[in-house]
Chain A
Amino acid sequence: MTARRLLSFLPVGFVAVFLVLPFLNTVDTFFSVSNTRDVLSDPSMLRILWFSLWQAVLSVLATMIFAIPATWALSRFQFPGARLCRGLLTTPFVLPSIVVAAGVLAISQRTGVVSILWAHVVFNVAVVLRIVSPRWALLNPRYEQSAATLGASPWQTFTHIVWPNIRSAVNSAAALVFAYCFTSFGVISIVGGFSRRTIETEIFTQSVRLGNTDVAITLAVLQMIVVLLVFQISRPSLLQTTSTHVSSAPIPLHTKPRGRWIVLVSVVVPVIIVALPLVATLIRSVSYRGHISFHAWTTVFGGTLPQLTVSTWRVIVTSLLFSLATAILAVSLALIAAQQMGRQWFHYAEQHRILRFVTSLPLVVSAATLGLGIVITYNTDPFAWRSHTWLIPVIHALIALPVAIRILEPAVQAIPPSLRAGAALLGSSPWHTWLRIDIALLRPALLRSVGISAAISLGEFGVTSFLTRSNSTTVTMTISQLLGRPGALTQQSGYVLASLLIVLTVGVTSRA
């Protein structure tokens, strides 16, 4: 019993050590009320705040417009190419923002709000798909058929039957997308153009470029408050309908009586929007001023990277080890947290609130602030962790934790308690019930969260670039290094690595 209690503190303790403490330490060192007054009365800062807000809201709407129809089509119907489409839609989430942003820029040829929205849609369709799709699949299509026989039009069926059942999943996805877009750094700084500044880019400018750490911290606190408010508003209600629905297999599309083209359009349009920047990346890896050339591919596969001293394989192995460690750590912690939240007894309510709050903090704190916080907090013995390599997967796991929890929690709740009771009646010990019932039923959700945690680790750039590394360059950091130097071969090699990431991830996600 005590071991179990101890275990239950792990997720909160983990976030406390690697995020809350460094953040509070930074705030304690640099935050002041007078500074906050200055920032809040500076018109240019208010413009930044306002732009951060509306671009994030528009990004969420744009993402939903493409993601909801695609999620519907992919969780409801089965057709040739469906898996590939799902893979393509979920891939960009792991790509470094520099690659997606450069892809968007190569096609749109202009910086500005439209390009920001496009890049945010490319990144976040995956978030909606991953969170909403399992819930949608739980909703038996027979309900929709019944509604139709009762005279409900497709739109009425959606608003009355489907929406109430997927609403909490959509809300939680929307809040997550908002957090990502509101705090997005890479996309804004590359495709936003120099006139488009958000809180996150300004935090970086103030702390790194101008040395005004106090202003940066004030902005970080403001940003945190906004995201926390949004999470508070979108919090799933405690009186959620218990999911006793049974998951149903997707229907073969060719048996659908009519409107098959709607399904295809719902998938094809988002796929085109998401895939175009990826295709641009592939094209850049083989083209040089109108010529087609595979030299960069042969160079990279030969093991060397132009202008860098590290070998291709070393970079790839490092990245894979980090993502493996991240996945193990993040999913273990997320499972502990999700199972605790899954116990729906009243006297746990307060504890759940704390758990939910603390484990969503990694979505709230800006990457630059977290990076600086760790540097100034863990720099003296015996906690001189700032330049230890293990810190990289630990921080990646911290960032992956809220997402992994959001994938596991609904799955844990969908397990009918009667199954556990039934197993116990048949003589199964709690440990065996956990292993044979819980874990067995959670397998798909566990695999999904392992996949996404590993992916987050592969693509993470923001905090990693603040950590000190020795011989531990990740693929993402390497891509940015290669793209940051002159020479056709060097840049093409950067695009080759990015293409490798794309192909690998499409392969993995369209199977999982």
Chain B
Amino acid sequence: MLKVSKLSVSYAGAPIISDLSFEVPTATTLAITGPSGVGKSTVLQAICGLVRIAEGAIFIDDRDITQLPTHKRGIGMVTQSNDLFPHLTVSQNIAFGLRMRGTSPRETSDRVEELLELVGLPNFSLREIQTLSGGESRRIALARSLAPSPRILLLDEPFNGLDDEIRDALMHQVKSILQSSSMTSVLVTHDHSEADFLSSSSLALVP
């Protein structure tokens, strides 16, 4: 379970988010919607510790993680910019989180194969990042964030910038992955149909 309590974030003195609280029960998906510029992504960045929070606390399964550095939080994130490492291959990208935890090479390569299957891109392991299409990149980014088995998955506009056809396919894929793995997740989107399709509850941020 993810709990955000009285979260406030400000930028250069101006509050972006003030006093926001919500809970995401285990194995459910919360959608955060709202117009652009309202601070949806900032909420996700605060949850995984990428921005400084002014006040409030974040709990995972009742444990306060507010003071933990990002890499110790066990939270995965997928964004619309993918951020695949350009100097690594597809499989090295997916294996990255596992290597950081010292997983054995054998176990790592099994897990990479498994994830490539899961996102429907078997045989992609040796591909260079520069050769991937937009949809492929997004699916590799998803596989990469799932590889270390995070307790929480944050999805920041994960279907943005994709063709309709690819987008629909990916939405179904994500839904089935979330359900089959009983993942707790937060989806940020400006698109209500995405929110309705994937989430069990939703939170609308207003300016």
Contact = CB atoms under 8 A, between A and B. Distances in A.
Interface stretch (B23-31, B32-40, B66-74, B161-169): B66-74
Contact of A142 (B83, B87, B96, B100): B83
Contacts of A154: 69, 71
B52 A254 contact: yes
B33 to A, nearest CB: 22
Contacts of A156: 71, 100
Contacts of A145: 50, 70, 83
A130 B69 CA distance: 31
B106 interface: no
Interface in A116-171: 140, 142-143, 145-154, 156-157, 160-161, 164-165
A109 interface: no
Question: Which label, helix, strand, loop or mixed, suits the secondary structure of the B interface?
Answer: loop
Interface in B125-168: 130, 144-145, 147-148, 150, 154
Given A142-B83, A241-B87, A252-B12, A257 B96 contact: no
- The contact size tier of chain B is 35 or more
Interface in A245-283: 245, 252, 254-259
A92 B145 CA distance: 46
A18 to B, nearest CB: 39
A142 B52 CA distance: 16
B53 interface: yes
Given A151-B74, A152-B100, A161 B145 contact: no
A21 to B, nearest CB: 42
A149 B145 contact: yes
A242 interface: yes
Contact of B70 (A149, A160, A244, A254): A149
Nearest to B67: A258
Q: Which of under 10, 10 to 19, 20 to 34, or 35 or more describes the interface residues of A?
A: 20 to 34
Nearest to A241: B87
A145 B86 CA distance: 14
B130 A244 contact: yes
Contacts of B77: 146, 149
A148 B50 contact: yes
Contacts of B71: 147-154, 156-157
A153 B102 CA distance: 12
Interface of A: 140, 142-143, 145-154, 156-157, 160-161, 164-165, 241-242, 244-245, 252, 254-259
Given A143-B83, A150-B76, A255-B52, 15 more contacts: A143-B85, A145-B50, A148-B50, A148-B71, A149-B50, A149-B71, A150-B145, A150-B147, A151-B72, A153-B71, A153-B72, A156-B71, A165-B87, A242-B130, A254-B52
Q: Please name the 5 residue pairs, one residue from A and one from B, whose CB atoms are nearest each other, closest first.
A: A150-B97, A148-B70, A146-B83, A152-B100, A142-B83
29 contacts: A142-B79, A142-B81, A143-B83, A145-B83, A146-B77, A149-B48, A149-B50, A149-B71, A149-B73, A149-B75, A149-B77, A149-B145, A150-B76, A150-B97, A150-B100, A151-B97, A151-B100, A152-B96, A153-B69, A153-B72, A154-B71, A242-B130, A244-B86, A252-B12, A255-B52, A257-B52, A258-B49, A258-B67, A258-B69
